[in-house]
Structure 1
Amino acid sequence: MATPTRPRQTHPCSRTNHEEAVLLHLCLSLGRGFICSGKGAGLTLSLVCSEPLRLVGGASRCAGTVEVKHRGEWRRVVKAYGFWDLGATAAVCRDLDCGSAVSGGERDDFPQSRVWEIHPYCVKKFTVRECVTDSSSSKALEVVCSDSVRLVSGSGLCSGSVQIWDQSWTWLCEEALDLQGAEVLCRELGCGAPSLLQGAVSPLGLQTFYCEGHESALMDCPRYSSRTCSSGAAVNLTCSEPLRLVGGASRCAGTVEVKHRGEWRRVVKAYGFWDLGATAAVCRDLDCGSAVSGGERDDFPQSRVWEIHPYCVKKFTVRECVTDSSSSKALEVVCSDLLNRPIISLSVLDGASEALPQGVRVKPGSKFRVKCSVEPQFPGGSFQLLSPTVNLTQNHTLPAVNHSAHFLFSDTGPAHKGNHLQVFDYAFSSQSHALQLHVGDENLNVESAN
């Protein structure tokens, strides 16, 4: 098992000309790092200056209290007025060349001293050092980024193509990850369980990571290979949001709670008007149905809560919009859905496949398998796979065995959507995320049924 380690600083090249020496001196005088590379018989200097930014006191170089070197002085960082959300945390992770943003917030237990103050809206557009001003405070910003894995080009912090750090950021190949590995990765990023895994789950034992599911980080899993992949062959992963409704009649009704910084707390609204649009955003992140009702109650004991701004959740996920607060209130939400959203994955048993930003491409004639599963909630039931083709829609139904079903296709055909579960005397349905299957050069788009 090989765990990639990231050098904190690269030594300067042993041979430089006068101009290169001047550049190195300039880079060092700015308090920044540098990278050197050789080429041919001679030596070519590639100079990359890193930001004078660091995290201290954490478990890794990608976690801890934020410090910036400015005007020749290292100081801890505090936020100015404004809302410090995961978008601002992601900007710090970006400048550190770390992975995805996991958590971020302020502490208030430091001695009063001179600090660098930054505005959250500024760091989303510029580097952290470009946003600092002189101040004094007993607070400090703490940030946790993933160290060696990240999701890129997704719709939010919990979805995208998987990259790992292996001396540089590289794409994780399709077939490199199974469902247990995806669970570990989602948990490492502070997200919920995986709900969509594309371009992965090899039945031939070719995956790079062999996780048992209890590991705290993907790089803690045994690793047996490392192939270089293009972005077109990368694993695409969607994790659910760490969000739940408690105390209601179903999983889609109740008091809103979010897990952030490793802690579940109930949620209250900040200033602003909580309308059905904000409620619909909560239902969206829960993979529930439409918004039915939402509002605040004021009969809880005073305690620490997560505060969210209604305007923020309409544009971003709930977890990206939380900040620390204290209140006796709580948000209650009712959505229309009743069942957990199923998890869907595809594995190609023979023939070549390619993970695309939208779906998976396989060669005509390939043999593949689609797995539908759902977290235990009701006994029995069945899964229905809907696969639209060019001229007709074919339905496939299998009984649920251990809350899952495997649909085997001996020849490449259409993609699928949805599932249907029959429980007791009532029929409830819940649909998975859409999985798109591209056969050859033909794209078969899949849409979820109402």
Structure 2
Amino acid sequence: MWTKEFQCGGNESALLDCGRSDSARSTCSPGKAVGLTCSEPVRLVGGASRCAGTLEVKRSEWRPVSGSYWTLKEAAAACRDLDCGSAVSTGSRNEASRRSVWWISSYCVQSGSALRECASSSSSSSIVELTCSDSVRLVNGTSLCSGRLEVKSEQSWSSVCEADFDQQDAEVVCRELGCGAPSVLQGALYGEVEAPMWTKEFQCGGHESALLDCGRSDSARSTCSPDKAVGLTCSEPQSIRLVGGASRCAGTLEVKRSEWRPVSYSDWTLKEAAAACRDLDCGSAVSIGSRNEASDRSVWWIDPDCVQSGSTLRECASSSSSSSIVKLTCSEKVLKVLTDLLLSLVSIGLNCKLIQDDGILKEPQSVRLVGGASRCAGTLEVKRSEWKPVGDSYWTLKAAAAACRDLDCGSAVSPGSRNEASDRSVWWISSYCVQSGSALRECASSYSSSSIMELTCSDSVRLVNGTSLCSGRLEVKSEQSWSSVCEADFDQQDAEVVCRELGCGAPSVLQGALYGEVEAPMWTKEFQCGGHESALLDCGRSDSARSTCSPGKAVGLTCSEPQSVRLVGGASRCAGTLEVKRSEWRPVDGSYWTLKEAAAACRDLDCGSAVSTGSRYESSRRSVWWTSSDCVQSGSTLRDCASSSSSSSIVKLTCSDLLVQPIISVSSTMDGVSEAQQQGFRVRRGSNFTISCSVQPQYPGGSFQVTFTSSNTTHNYTQPAVNHSADFLFPAADPAHQGSYSCVYGVYVFAHNFSSESRLLSLTVTDPTVHIIRPVVLPVTLLLVVAVVVFILKASRGQKSGPQENIELDSYNLGVSRAEGEPAEEEGAQGTE
């Protein structure tokens, strides 16, 4: 725990610029750690209230938000960041010329991140305008028109008790939020909630335009159980239709947001078609196509990621222009069965399955690799209405892994591309759709390109359920089926072969059940690799087969990631131009680059947090890697998420580069410093001692602060760092210098303050007289003890000894006397007389 009180004036640029108390806190209970929520840098300007107007976001500066690809889902997130209610309406205004704006990543926002984290620099003449409700919102719902009701009063949000809310109140809320009539009103439908609760009963007539315009009861409710919080579902407004067709379930697709418009065919896949038929209550999609008009017109573009997350087309529509319009035919829930003698074809929309005589269902072949050395290598083709090659635009290793999965091949080894002389009709594959587990056929939309996808998958090995493309449970293919491998049949040399075969680095972890347990089948023979083979199945195998292997012993393998990300040309390894290696090193495209991607890059570089990110513009376009925002934010590495592109905008990135820990030491002018393992370091009272601080060179400049803490006081001493070190002299040590010392190194770089603290050094001051007296006192004390013992012994023997004892004693005394001279003889003679 930090042990001192901060004393900020409020205008400092960094916390460590603030003063701190002299005294240190000795204890702090775990429940008292500071939790802090800062308001998001987002605002609405020029509107009738703080919850309406032109949307602006601040990252490096305040800018308006681009209206391109702006949906109701992003609008809802903006209202959340503004601490306003639900999104009521969103639109755009067009300015005379393009200006600098922030473009907001749809996937990033919908995953729960703040707008600032999802903003990337762009230019546009289309600017977002937004209206949120001031005082009501629906939270945790399945759509923008459902959720637990919350009301805002005195700057805080409260749930509403079921007993204080009725159908007429619900009608007002649904109208206020731009939704249809209320259809479900039920407590705890969208999660239970603890206090605070709204304490007065609403008394609406049903005609009011806002809930807070309604009357309220005079008396307040004292209690309401958590499971009685109002959950409200408003019906969706009529926002989708098919026009000009033979039935209500066929024709040109139109969506209503602010107005009715046709839907753009761009990026339109079977997944969007299925969602449209679902929203129309028209069964499954039977056929989709397009009609081309003479010129572009205003249309709605549907965000595939948004639709595939389960949202309605209205929520996922953004304003665009196009001459290609969607035509759609849904099934109207009619199931057609065509029967032939060896075979039945069941047609449920476009999802056709072949039913064989043995009753096994199989998907029709819809993906293949052609022209390669094996069925798991070549040009990638997909069949929807027809076989077409796949364009390599925005094609990532994650998408390649999904293609290999659909082909029933192993892991993706290397995706590439070939360029043809001219554009041709190809399929574009939605990366988000594929990564969510859908088949390539469902994620394909028509477009044209001259760049064609080529792909190589491993024939017979794959890693499944891993956290990256280089980790997972090992499976081997033999006789058209995949088997896990038992730990006892697999060793480090075998692992080296697998990692090499999959294009990964050396094996780092080899452990059973690391990526999930598995039931049979299991590979039954031991692999005997030398470690140099190019493929696992090139290795030898044992003659005997294993009969059993427990599920917890299936091989889980983690290969190290190949070095695939770096920063070049900067002041340190954690600053510069960002480059990624897939087939080759290339810079990263700066288009649509957000703080979320920047954070992922710093994580991959092991460089702490993102400090700043921007772009530099080159004179002409060059080959770059474009990184999929969706893919990166799901936790994958930049290499897994990179696809080939060209751009003149290149990412520049600065990460915090965590400072190394400073070194602290102590020296003294008198006989050095002694160290006891338990007591720490000791210096003599009155001597001069020096606390030395040093740090490994990372950045120039900076300063060191020595903090001294005793039982009743704390002191700080600061010096600039000279050659990355500083010495703090303490003259005339006395008991007041006893306590703990630490060094804190601080440096201001990249417009931020960074600091790192050393270990604690414990110091004891000893009295020098102790060292002088001890050598004298100890021998004298020993002599006195010996003399006393001899005296007692003589006295004792004089009283109790017999003749023999007297002779022995006399001999002893004689020996002593002789050594002393003649007087001893006289005494002896006198004794005899």
Name structure 2 gaps, 5 residues minimum.
1-338, 514-523, 661-833
1:150-188 superposed Cα distances (whole Å, 9 cap, x missing partner): 111122222111111122111011033322322322232
Note the C-alpha offset of 1:128. 2.3
| Amino acid paired to 1:218 | L
CA distance, structure 2, for counterparts of residue 280 and residue 232 of structure 1? 36
Equivalent residues in 2 for 1:342-357 (5 A)? none
Q: TM-score of the superposition, structure 2-length normalised?
A: 0.31
| Amino acid paired to 1:304 | S
Are the aligned partners of 1:105 and 1:141 in contact in 2 as well (CA < 8 Å)? yes
CA distance, structure 1, for counterparts of residue 643 and residue 525 of structure 2? 38
Q: Does the alignment pair 1:238 with 2:550?
A: no
Q: Does the alignment pair 1:218 with 2:218?
A: no
Equivalent of residue 407 in structure 2, options 88, 96, 115: 96
For residues 229 and 259 of structure 1, do their structure 2 counterparts lie closer, same or farther at Cα, with a shift above 3 Å needed?
farther
Q: TM-score of the superposition, structure 1-length normalised?
A: 0.54
Q: Would you say how many aligned residue pairs link Structure 1 and Structure 2?
A: 300
Note the C-alpha offset of 1:290. 2.5
Name 2:371's counterpart in structure 1.
Answer: 57
1:369-409 superposed Cα distances (whole Å, 9 cap, x missing partner): xxxxxxxxxxxxxxxxxxxxxxxxxxxxxxxxxxxxxxxxx
Which protein has the bigger strand share? 2
Note the C-alpha offset of 1:134. 4.9
| Amino acid paired to 2:554 | A
Equivalent of residue 495 in structure 2, options 172, 175, 182: 182
1:402-433 superposed Cα distances (whole Å, 9 cap, x missing partner): xxxxxxxxxxxxxxxxxxxxxxxxxxxxxxxx
For residues 250 and 221 of structure 1, do their structure 2 counterparts lie closer, same or farther at Cα, with a shift above 3 Å needed?
farther
CA distance, structure 2, for counterparts of residue 333 and residue 46 of structure 1? 56
Q: Does the alignment pair 1:324 with 2:636?
A: no
CA distance, structure 2, for counterparts of residue 337 and residue 148 of structure 1? 45
CA distance, structure 1, for counterparts of residue 478 and residue 633 of structure 2? 36
CA distance, structure 1, for counterparts of residue 659 and residue 533 of structure 2? 32
Are the aligned partners of 1:51 and 1:95 in contact in 2 as well (CA < 8 Å)? no
Name 1:5's counterpart in structure 2.
Answer: none
Name structure 1 gaps, 5 residues minimum.
1-17, 37-43, 201-205, 339-450
Note the C-alpha offset of 1:133. 4.7
CA distance, structure 2, for counterparts of residue 269 and residue 256 of structure 1? 9
145-154 or 84-93, which deviates more = 84-93
CA distance, structure 1, for counterparts of residue 592 and residue 509 of structure 2? 34
For residues 313 and 194 of structure 1, do their structure 2 counterparts lie closer, same or farther at Cα, with a shift above 3 Å needed?
same
CA distance, structure 2, for counterparts of residue 337 and residue 236 of structure 1? 35
4+ runs deviating over 6 angstroms:
30-36, 248-254, 299-302
Q: Does the alignment pair 1:266 with 2:586?
A: yes
Name 1:140's counterpart in structure 2.
Answer: 452
3-state secondary structure, aligned to 2:420: coil
1:268-316 superposed Cα distances (whole Å, 9 cap, x missing partner): 24423443x5444234435x36336564675999753323255642322
| Amino acid paired to 2:483 | T
CA distance, structure 2, for counterparts of residue 98 and residue 66 of structure 1? 13
| Amino acid paired to 1:63 | A
What is the root-mean-square deviation in Å for CA atoms of aligned residues? 4.2
Name 2:509's counterpart in structure 1.
Answer: 196
| Amino acid paired to 1:101 | A
Q: Return the index of the structure with the highest Cα Rg.
A: 2
CA distance, structure 2, for counterparts of residue 129 and residue 310 of structure 1? 22
Are the aligned partners of 2:378 and 2:456 in contact in 1 as well (CA < 8 Å)? yes
CA distance, structure 2, for counterparts of residue 182 and residue 84 of structure 1? 28
For residues 24 and 63 of structure 1, do their structure 2 counterparts lie closer, same or farther at Cα, with a shift above 3 Å needed?
same
CA distance, structure 2, for counterparts of residue 155 and residue 166 of structure 1? 25
Are the aligned partners of 1:252 and 1:336 in contact in 2 as well (CA < 8 Å)? no
3-state secondary structure, aligned to 1:93: helix
Note the C-alpha offset of 1:234. 0.9
Note the C-alpha offset of 1:238. 1.4
Equivalent residues in 2 for 1:371-390 (5 A)? none
CA distance, structure 1, for counterparts of residue 602 and residue 352 of structure 2? 47
1:422-447 superposed Cα distances (whole Å, 9 cap, x missing partner): xxxxxxxxxxxxxxxxxxxxxxxxxx
Equivalent residues in 2 for 1:25-40 (5 A)? none
| Amino acid paired to 1:197 | L
Name 1:349's counterpart in structure 2.
Answer: none
Name 1:370's counterpart in structure 2.
Answer: none
CA distance, structure 1, for counterparts of residue 353 and residue 369 of structure 2? 15
Name 1:413's counterpart in structure 2.
Answer: none
Which protein has the bigger helix share? 2
Are the aligned partners of 2:475 and 2:484 in contact in 1 as well (CA < 8 Å)? yes
Note the C-alpha offset of 1:197. 1.5
CA distance, structure 2, for counterparts of residue 284 and residue 198 of structure 1? 25
For residues 145 and 114 of structure 1, do their structure 2 counterparts lie closer, same or farther at Cα, with a shift above 3 Å needed?
same
For residues 196 and 189 of structure 1, do their structure 2 counterparts lie closer, same or farther at Cα, with a shift above 3 Å needed?
same
CA distance, structure 2, for counterparts of residue 299 and residue 134 of structure 1? 32
Equivalent of residue 78 in structure 1, options 371, 391, 399: 391
3-state secondary structure, aligned to 1:190: coil
Are the aligned partners of 1:105 and 1:323 in contact in 2 as well (CA < 8 Å)? no
- The structure showing larger relative contact order (alpha-carbon pairs under 8 Å, at least 6 residues apart) is 1
For residues 207 and 289 of structure 1, do their structure 2 counterparts lie closer, same or farther at Cα, with a shift above 3 Å needed?
farther
Are the aligned partners of 1:98 and 1:146 in contact in 2 as well (CA < 8 Å)? yes
Are the aligned partners of 1:31 and 1:69 in contact in 2 as well (CA < 8 Å)? no
CA distance, structure 2, for counterparts of residue 230 and residue 160 of structure 1? 18
Note the C-alpha offset of 1:118. 3.8
Note the C-alpha offset of 1:322. 0.5
3-state secondary structure, aligned to 2:483: strand
Note the C-alpha offset of 1:325. 2.9
Note the C-alpha offset of 1:94. 1.8
1:106-136 superposed Cα distances (whole Å, 9 cap, x missing partner): 4332554444444333444432233445554
For residues 118 and 183 of structure 1, do their structure 2 counterparts lie closer, same or farther at Cα, with a shift above 3 Å needed?
same
58-67 or 319-328, which deviates more = 319-328
